[in-house]
Amino acid sequence: MPRAHYSPCPPDEVLLTGFRRVRDALDVPETFPEEVTAEADAIASRGPRRPPGVPERDPVDHRGIAFVAIDPSGSLDIDQAFSAQRTKHGYLVHYAIADLGSFVVPGGAIDAEARRRGLTFYSPDMRSSLHPEALNHGVASLLPGQDRAALVWSIKLDHDGSIHDAIVERSVVRNREAISYRTATDRLLRVDAPEELRLLREIGRLRQEVERRRHAVSLQLPSQEIVRDDGGYRLGYAESLPIEGWNAQISLLTGMAAAQLMVDAGVGILRTLPPPSRETMAELRAVAAGLRIGWHQQVGYAERVRELDPSIPNEAALLSTSARGLRGAGYASFVDGDLPADPEHSAIASTYAHVTAPLRRLGDRFANEIVLSVCGGYPSPAWVLEALPEIPKLMGKARGREGRLERRLLDFMEAAVLAGRVGDELDAVVSSRSDDEVTVTITDPAVIARITHTGVELGQRLRVRVAAADPSQSHVELVPLR
């Protein structure tokens, strides 16, 4: 993977205008209607309440658990907080999730607006939140040092990291602190590293090994990002810290536990992904052969791509092409035990559900009410069951808009970065190929672009010239040099 590198960009006012133009074209909202913010303010004032159709029970008091939230620096919409302890048989993981069901009124103005948005949409200069800030950055967020309504998962793991048992309860928690990934990493380097972070590392690594044994897919693809720093906005390649992977394993663990509860109960919402088709596999093996990368017939997709090294050009090219095997992700809801034809998420190699980010994803709120009802021994609320057929469509629409937003922002940023470099020659690597086009990855500046060229091979290094770059049209033209 290319090293993180940030290239000089035009003045902020030029970029902000471009970002806004992209959002306007995709109808990404920047504000909430008055009735939505008014409802949010009223709910924030009165606090959490039991959702309709849920038995009247006191929340379990989990304020004695030392939770810690680990998120990108500056995050205020805190969905999750982690804690764990060793047990005689392995580990007990506690995972607190923001309880949106206790704040969002079914059929109300916030609910309707959340269904219209589906997700929180991120731009370099702002975020378009799923819910108003009174909830997302206020009473519903697991902000540290405050009593908060939460759904607390208690997941028992064996010594090897395998799931033994899992339940979720409506609770009240007090998150001890919220720290960034960098702060957490720095603390782990100390001799007196906190126990909860040592356990996160230990459990995260165990779960990564369980993931390998499941033959789950892990693609380390180059990922572009637009970031804000003291000097303005920059375009670069994202770098991830190991603790981000360990933290993600806890979310995956919880999603898998939730999915199993739903499958056993015969009602729920799953995140699905079909396995690569025979045609796709044949294509990937042919690409590997062309790149002179061995791929034994008995070795499957997940096992082979997991071993690829993104720092080696031809292996990075195969990694990029291998993303074709992860197409078709979606959501599937079911009732009365009528499971979807392909209920698994093939990349995770398990059934899986989204339940850990209700502040940022619409479907999580409904999925959480289902697993709460399963563990609580009562029927799923009617308003949840009524929404189930609609949720996959709404989430699919939101995911499509999210992908278009990300790509168009990057297209604009690439054009803005290269506008001052027309005529320059740059080093590139061919990362994927179709009949008459190839995709090239450039390290400096951090650009991934398509060019018309038929005489190059995957993984080949070449020089390209910036022939044109127009930020107003988000257009870049690169010409390969022979």
**pLDDT tens by residue, 163-220:** 999 999 999 999 999 999 999 999 999 999 999 999 999 999 999 999 999 999 877 7
163 with 55: CB under 8 angstroms?
A: no
Residue that wins the pLDDT comparison between 432 and 334: 334
- pLDDT of 453 strictly over 70: no
Please write the tens of the pLDDT for every residue from 379-415: 999 999 999 999 999 999 999 999 999 999 999 999 9
Question: From CA 75, how far away is CA 234, in angstroms rounded?
Answer: 20
- pLDDT of 44 strictly over 60: yes
- pLDDT of 2 strictly over 70: no
Widest CA span in the chain: 74
How many Cα atoms occupy the beta-carbon half-sphere of 333 within 13 Å? 19
Beta strand 330-334 pairing with 425-433:
unpaired
pLDDT score, position 6: 40
Is residue 335 exposed (0-12), middle (13-18) or buried (19+ Cβ within 10 Å)?
Answer: middle
Provide DSSP, 31-82. Answer: S--HHHHHHHHHHHHH---PPTTS---PPEE-TTS--EEEESTT-----EEE
pLDDT score, position 435: 67
**CA nearest neighbour of 289 among 461, 462, 450, 457:** 457
257 with 155: CB under 8 angstroms?
A: yes
Question: From CA 178, how far away is CA 74, in angstroms rounded?
Answer: 9
**CA nearest neighbour of 466 among 481, 479, 450, 454:** 479
pLDDT score, position 9: 58
Whole-angstrom CA distances from 32 to 18, 29, 120, 129, 167 are 22, 7, 13, 9, 35
Residues 6+ apart with CB under 8 A from 18: 412, 413, 416, 471, 474
Question: From CA 168, how far away is CA 152, in angstroms rounded?
Answer: 5
Provide DSSP, 376-425. Answer: HTSPPPHHHHHHTTTHHHHHHHHHHHHHHHHHHHHHHHHHHHHGGGTT-E
pLDDT score, position 4: 41
Amino acid at 291: L
Tokens coding 373? 């009802």
pLDDT score, position 10: 65
> Mean pLDDT over residues 296-315, rounded?
84
For 340-390, where are the alpha helices, taking DSSP H only? 362-376, 382-387
Choose the weakest-confidence range: 3-17, 127-141, 249-263: 3-17
Which residue in the block uniquely carries the two structure tokens 């009174």? 134
pLDDT score, position 249: 97
Which letter does DSSP use for residue 108 in this model? Answer: S
> Mean pLDDT over residues 18-47, rounded?
96
Beta strand 268-272 pairing with 80-86:
unpaired
Please write the tens of the pLDDT for every residue from 315-350: 877 887 888 788 889 999 999 999 999 999 999 999
What is the band of 455 on the pLDDT scale with cuts at 50, 70, 90? confident
Task: Report the C-alpha dihedral over residues 331, 334, 340, 343, rounded to 10 degrees.
Answer: 60
> Mean pLDDT over residues 14-22, rounded?
93
> Mean pLDDT over residues 288-292, rounded?
81
Mean pLDDT over each residue of the chain, to the nearest integer: 91
434 with 401: CB under 8 angstroms?
A: no
Residues 6+ apart with CB under 8 A from 124: 15, 19, 226, 227, 228, 233, 409, 413
- pLDDT of 439 strictly over 80: yes
Sheet of strand 425-433: strand arrangement: 447-452, 437-442, 425-433, 461-470, 475-480
Choose the weakest-confidence range: 279-293, 330-344, 346-360, 416-430: 279-293
460 with 433: CB under 8 angstroms?
A: no
What is the band of 222 on the pLDDT scale with cuts at 50, 70, 90? low
Helix axes 195-213, 242-265, angle to 10 degrees: 60
Task: Report the C-alpha dihedral over residues 238, 241, 245, 247, rounded to 10 degrees.
Answer: -110
Question: From CA 213, how far away is CA 365, in angstroms rounded?
Answer: 31
Residues 6+ apart with CB under 8 A from 321: 284, 287, 431, 432, 433, 458
Tokens coding 284? 């990937």
Sign of the CA dihedral 309, 407, 363, 325? negative
pTM for the model:
0.91
Percent of the chain with pLDDT over 70: 96
What is the band of 231 on the pLDDT scale with cuts at 50, 70, 90? low
399 with 120: CB under 8 angstroms?
A: no
Choose the weakest-confidence range: 286-290, 328-332, 416-420: 286-290
- pLDDT of 116 strictly over 90: yes
Residue spans of the domains in the chain: they are 31-274+328-389
